[in-house]
Each structure stands twice: as structure tokens, then as C-alpha cells.
Amino acid sequence: MKALLRKYRLFLVVAVADLALTLWSPQIGRQAAGNSADFLIQVLLIVPPVMILMGLLDVWVPRNLVETHLGADSGLRGAGLAIMLGTAAAGPLYAAFPVALSLQKKGARLANIAIFLGTWATIKIPMILMEVSFIGIRFAMLRLAFTVPGVLVVGYLMERLVPVAAESNAPVLANEG
């Protein structure tokens, strides 16, 4: 029971906060609960297809392919591939985490996983197109000129700062909870 409560603690905290807010201010509480429910529905609509995709990725993409192109010896080529994968992505950032976990299990280095996640969050092709149409190409290219090096620096910093478990090549943080 304790493990189950710990696993769902964030959900429980949000539910308790919504309830407390409803008792304090019913109108604001209803709005907060509605927002929470909308987000939960959105997540439930996106996560199952992502999990199916992860299952297919797990079966169809061999481990040695990921290790070769995104693994420890991939160098800048691996970072470039991680950027290409992140820019071609579609969907919200939380859909990227199962993909990142799958890449990690297949032998991708932590820097390339962080670069993939950073790119997914900041440099998707549809985002760039919208940016160009609303703000202009000069702004979009200037933002890209700052964002790409920033994503690369953060990726390599993450790899140096996050301790890695020796036996599994998995960050220690992935073993929590």
C-alpha cells in the first residue's frame, strides 16, 4: 500500500490541492479541478499511442544500431542525430520521456538523450515554421543560433554532472521511485 501511495503521490497531491482549493474558494477550486481533469484526459489520450510506438521501437530497432549512432562513441555525429530526431518529433514534451527511456535502454549516451529532449522541447520543425510566420525569419534563425549550442552544452553538462550507475549505464536518477 505504501509503495502504491508513493507511486501516485503527485496525483494525490494535486487531488488534495484541488479539494482544499474548492473548500477555500469553490469557483477557483472548480476551475482548478477542471484544468487538472483536462490535463489528465490529454495525457491519457497521448500516452497509450506513445507506449505502442515504444513497444514497436523496442522490437524493430536493434540495440547495436542505437549504440552505434547514439552511444558512447557516437561523438558529434550522435549529437547531430539526436537533434534531427528531436526536431522531427511531434507532440508534447511529456511524450518524449518514454522515447528517451527507450533510447537509454538501447544504449544511447546520456548527453545524446539530453540533447534529444532539449531539442524536442525547443526546436521542432512545426514550431520553427510558426515562429517564422509570426515573428519573422531573422528572429527564428537568431533564436536557433543561440538555442542549438545551448542544447548541446546542456546535454554534455548533464552527462558530466549526473552520476551514472556502472552496471547498467543508466543514470542513478532513473532508478528512483
DSSP labels for 109-131? -HHHHHHHHHHHHH--HHHHHHH
Phi then psi dihedrals of residue 73, to 5 deg: -100, 15
What confidence tens digit (pLDDT) does each residue in 37-69 have?
A: 898 898 888 888 888 877 887 788 888 888 889
Q: How many helices (H) and strands (E) does the chain have?
A: 9, 0
What confidence tens digit (pLDDT) does each residue in 90-124 have?
A: 788 888 898 898 899 899 999 999 999 999 999 98
State the pTM of this model: 0.74
Q: Which of 88, 90, 114, 89 is nearest to 101 (CA)?
A: 114
Q: Could you give the 3-state DSSP secondary structure of residue 170? A: coil
List the chain domain ranges. 1-53, 61-177
Q: To the nearest whole percent, how much of the chain has pLDDT over 70?
A: 92
Phi then psi dihedrals of residue 86, to 5 deg: -70, -35
- Centre a 10 Å sphere on the Cβ of residue 61 and count the other Cβ atoms it contains: 13
Q: How far apart are CA 120 and CA 135, in angstroms?
A: 20
